[in-house]
Structure 1
Amino acid sequence: MPRILVIDDESSILHAFRRAFGDPDDELLTAPNAEEGLALVSDKKPDVVVLDLNLPDANGLDVYRKIRAIDARIPVIFITGHGTTETAIEATKQGAFDYLLKPLELEQVRDLVEQAAEISRLGRVPAVVPDESVPAGTPVDVLVGRSPAMQEVYKAIGRVASQDLAVLVLGESGTGKELVARAIYQHSRRAAGPFLAVNCAAIPETLLESELFGHEKGSFTGADRRRIGKFEQCSGGTLFLDEIGDMTPLTQAKLLRVLQDGRFERVGGSDTIQAEVRIIAATNRDLALMASVGEFREDLYYRLGVVTITLPPLRERAGDLHLLVDHFIKRFSPEMGREVAQVAPEVLELLRRYPWPGNLREFQSVLRQALLRAQGPVLLADFLPPAVRGEALPEAGPRSAGFDWEEFLDERLRAGSQDLYAESLSLMERSLVTRVLRHTRGNQLQAAKILGITRGSLRTKVRTLGITIERSVSPPDDRSDG
């Protein structure tokens, strides 16, 4: 439940936020002036603060600096009129998350606040379970495991966390690279500063440079105002660049300069800006091979690769399976309305045999599916998906023989799902990608063009969804690790 604090003296603004965040899952706090707002920041520790630049008892920038002094990890979103836009930009340069222009649009408000709440969560939720037991209330997205391979990962995190060096995290899709980045941040000297994450594969090539470094007004079509990039927003903190292998050569060059001397320019600007940011990068691609064939800058690879942490795939962590099953069953059972307290030995044996091409993401999906089918307090092998039991299905997705969308939706609604949109979207995406790859006979470049995404994004989806590409394309229900 995100806790949102709005500091504003206008009743119309407060009314807009009550409309936007009237859901019981949201906790909305309000304050009409700086004094009451700062008291709530100290007492309630909000996840996000929305702050008016013009308060009756203080200047918004001064209030922002006091919030930063209390807790620099709290994302602050400014509300501003057109006359004070430059002040809002100045606040963003000092680390504010973003700003909203009056009059407010509810969808824009919700989107921006939800993004800020997720950033806040990433910085605060511990990324590593501290001991062998998994305490109640531990979130799903933490590093769990005590196998020799994971112990090496923990040691590497401990060695590099306090060094303030750039770090490269390698590993297959779904192994938990962002969790390693968060663990490094949380154990570093920058833990009191901001933590921002950027997925380089999810942002169009034409916009990634602006997202990272910002742009000046008029620098390209659609640049109707100055934008402050993530490097300026994250000053004094840690910036996590996921899927860095998909970064364009131009952006690679600017990133290299930041690593070398800590300087960059906004797109369309001439002023040199000093960046005081630690960079953690991650990829599931072979950067060494890409550098050797000219697909990635060698000098950037060597700069990033001074400290490298490699995450093992799940198939190499057999000793962790029992702990992982226990962790996810405890986390998923309540939200799915199940009371599973025991796992049959046959289930663990089948899980050990399965190659897990989608790693932990696929592992979580399998356990959710098993819990959906579960009846009673014991999780039986019959509840596992056919792929894990070694029974391949002829087709995957909503058009599978015997698949009924209505039955699926009814089942999930009865189970009390709180993630139905994501579950349905994942099912549809698996069917779509598999179908297009069948049409192109496994040609990923052609499939990416049909889907309207980059080839790097398609590779990520193929690995995440566990799709096997051989002479024909197989859905993740086939027992092949590709």
Structure 2
Amino acid sequence: MAHLLLIDDDPELIARQIRRVFPPPDHSLDEARTGAEGILKAGRDAPDVILLDLRLPDRSGLEVYDAIRRGDARIPVIFVTMARKADAAIEAMKHGAYDYLLKPIDLHQIRKVIEGAVEVGRRMREPAIIAERGAELDAEGVIVGSCPAMIEVYKAIGRVASQDVPVLITGESGTGKELVARAIYQHSLRARAPFLTLNCAAIPETLLESELFGHEKGAFTSADRRRIGKFEQCNGGTLLLDEIGDMPLALQAKVLRLIQDQVFERVGGNETVSTDVRLLAATHRDLKTWSTDGKFRPDLYYRLGVFTIQLPPLRERGEDLELLVRYFLRRLNPQLGREVRDVAPEALERLRSHTWPGNIRELQSVLKQALLQASGPILLEQFLPASLNRTEEASRPAVIRGGALNVQLLGEFSPDDRDLYSELHRQLDRILLPRAMEFARGSQHQAALFLGIARQTLRQKLRQLGIHPADHPSTDEEDGGG
């Protein structure tokens, strides 16, 4: 349900359009005909989104916007205007307005813009609650888990949230990197300023620079007006660049300059624009390896990696799986019209035996499929999708034999699989390195010789796996120097 506020001295037409796209009773639309009335209602009712006319009888839309922003800068404000140049609306965008629309308003456009604004507002206002065992929480989009690895994640969030430095959040796809970013934002000193997210992998390379930095009119063929980018729009707030590992190299140089100097130029412009943005970045890539391979700028990696939070994959989170299953059942039951209150032991064991390459996102999808098949109050094993109930023959691992090593490839390829090459290497490290250290009786020097890698590389990989030298006491003095 969306609660919208329209501030316009002649609201009839726009109000009718909004109610067609967001009909009652699922959504509510309040109206104000003056700036003073709009400011009062915005402060009293905390709407999800505000639509604000630039021309009001008692004051300008910009003055109303500034007053609303002083009260709560997290409420997305969409300007509506008759002026084709819309210089005032562009100026408002530079100070954090969500977007602006030109009258007469297109129904498809207004739906798209308002839906986006509602989602942005939700991310800023709904707490990224950390739900531990026994907590009966039904809020959407919360961090759920109490395993040791997640406790370390919570500690890291607490250590860095109030420090105004970049944070790099890493982990496999579907592990909840955006939720961690939102938790950092909500516990930061910028918690009442805007929080925006941009997925670098979801936007074509030709448009990504404009999305980030904006462009001037005439910068390219379709640039019929000036556009304000996310770095300028989010001034004073926090910006999450999701999947930053997929950002083109040429664009990485501009991001590096912004981190260092907080200045940039719009595409096609010469004006140097100053901004004040806290940057959070997330990726499922191994940026250190990518920087070594020339796929990511090393200088940008080191600036982003001032503080890194590594999220564990679901398969390494132990009893958190049951906690997550029960959380998603509570969330999904009302959505799908089901009343499944418990999970059969056989179904839970089947879920535990799965390797979850898609992590929490895959778990949510599997439970949706299971609930659609379910009848009665208990989730039975037979309701789980076929992908989790393959026969022994279908699930038998393929074995590649070569030299002294047998590599087992579990399962089958899926259309949703990504980054399999890197993931196989990570899985191989988890199996091979501990065994090499055990065979070498804790000697990093000997283990590195067995593996044919530098001892420094071995140490780095051991740290990434959470294996410390103390776990494998060294038997030769050559390793004693650290």
When normalised by structure 2's length, the TM-score is 0.81
Tell whether the 8 Å contact from 1:48 to 1:117 is kept in structure 2 after alignment. Answer: yes
Q: Supply the AA of the counterpart residue of 2:115.
A: E
Tell whether the 8 Å contact from 2:175 to 2:313 is kept in structure 1 after alignment. Answer: yes
* Per-residue deviation, 1:462: 2.2
Q: Supply the AA of the counterpart residue of 1:108.
A: Q
1:175 matched to which residue of 2?
Answer: 175
* Per-residue deviation, 1:19: 2.5
Tell whether the 8 Å contact from 2:169 to 2:308 is kept in structure 1 after alignment. Answer: yes
* Per-residue deviation, 1:83: 5.1
* Per-residue deviation, 1:57: 1.2
Equivalence map 1:120-131=2 (5 Å): 120-131=121-132
Partners in 1 of 2:114 and 2:341 — Cα distance? 37
Equivalence map 1:345-360=2 (5 Å): 345-360=345-360
Helix, strand or coil for the counterpart of 1:56? coil
1:235 matched to which residue of 2?
Answer: 235
Tell whether the 8 Å contact from 1:8 to 1:14 is kept in structure 2 after alignment. Answer: no
1:95 matched to which residue of 2?
Answer: 96
**Which consecutive unaligned segments of at least 5 residues does structure 2 have?**
395-412, 425-482
Q: Supply the AA of the counterpart residue of 1:103.
A: P
CA distance 1:361–1:463, change in 2 (3 Å): farther
1:25 matched to which residue of 2?
Answer: 26
Q: Supply the AA of the counterpart residue of 2:312.
A: P
Q: Supply the AA of the counterpart residue of 2:310.
A: T
Equivalence map 1:99-248=2 (5 Å): 99-139=100-140, 141-248=141-248
1:480 matched to which residue of 2?
Answer: none
Q: Supply the AA of the counterpart residue of 1:157.
A: I
CA distance 1:336–1:294, change in 2 (3 Å): same
Tell whether the 8 Å contact from 1:357 to 1:463 is kept in structure 2 after alignment. Answer: no
Partners in 1 of 2:423 and 2:68 — Cα distance? 52
RMSD, aligned α-carbons: 2.1
Partners in 2 of 1:469 and 1:149 — Cα distance? 19
* Per-residue deviation, 1:392: 8.1
Compare 6-15 and 167-176 and name the one that shifted more: 6-15
Deviation per residue, 1:420-472 (Å, 9 max, x gap): xxxxxxxxxxxxx96xx7xxxxxxxxxxxxxxxxxxxxxxx4249x99999xx
* Per-residue deviation, 1:334: 1.9
The answer to whether 1:249 aligns with 2:249 is yes
The answer to whether 1:343 aligns with 2:375 is no
Tell whether the 8 Å contact from 2:153 to 2:310 is kept in structure 1 after alignment. Answer: yes
1:320 matched to which residue of 2?
Answer: 320
Partners in 2 of 1:135 and 1:216 — Cα distance? 50
Which protein has greater RCO, CA pairs closer than 8 Å, 6+ apart? Answer: 1
* Per-residue deviation, 1:327: 0.6
Partners in 1 of 2:225 and 2:362 — Cα distance? 42
Partners in 2 of 1:130 and 1:138 — Cα distance? 10
Helix, strand or coil for the counterpart of 2:183? helix
* Per-residue deviation, 1:18: 2.4
Compare 39-48 and 13-22 and name the one that shifted more: 13-22
Deviation per residue, 1:290-347 (Å, 9 max, x gap): 1001111110011101110000000001221121111111111122121112211112
Partners in 1 of 2:393 and 2:67 — Cα distance? 59
CA distance 1:15–1:304, change in 2 (3 Å): same
Q: Supply the AA of the counterpart residue of 2:113.
A: L
The answer to whether 1:292 aligns with 2:247 is no
2:417 matched to which residue of 1?
Answer: 462
1:44 matched to which residue of 2?
Answer: 45
When normalised by structure 1's length, the TM-score is 0.81
Deviation per residue, 1:388-413 (Å, 9 max, x gap): 2333899xxxxxxxxxxxxxxxxxxx
Tell whether the 8 Å contact from 1:373 to 1:383 is kept in structure 2 after alignment. Answer: yes
The answer to whether 1:278 aligns with 2:286 is no
The answer to whether 1:59 aligns with 2:14 is no
Compare 17-26 and 99-108 and name the one that shifted more: 17-26
Q: Supply the AA of the counterpart residue of 1:386.
A: A
Number of equivalences: 405
Helix, strand or coil for the counterpart of 1:338? coil
Deviation per residue, 1:367-420 (Å, 9 max, x gap): 1111112121111111111222333899xxxxxxxxxxxxxxxxxxxxxxxxxx
Deviation per residue, 1:21-50 (Å, 9 max, x gap): 225322211111112211211111011100
Partners in 1 of 2:170 and 2:201 — Cα distance? 15
* Per-residue deviation, 1:131: 4.1
Equivalence map 1:257-406=2 (5 Å): 257-391=257-391
Q: Supply the AA of the counterpart residue of 1:342.
A: D
CA distance 1:24–1:392, change in 2 (3 Å): farther
Q: Supply the AA of the counterpart residue of 2:417.
A: V
2:402 matched to which residue of 1?
Answer: none
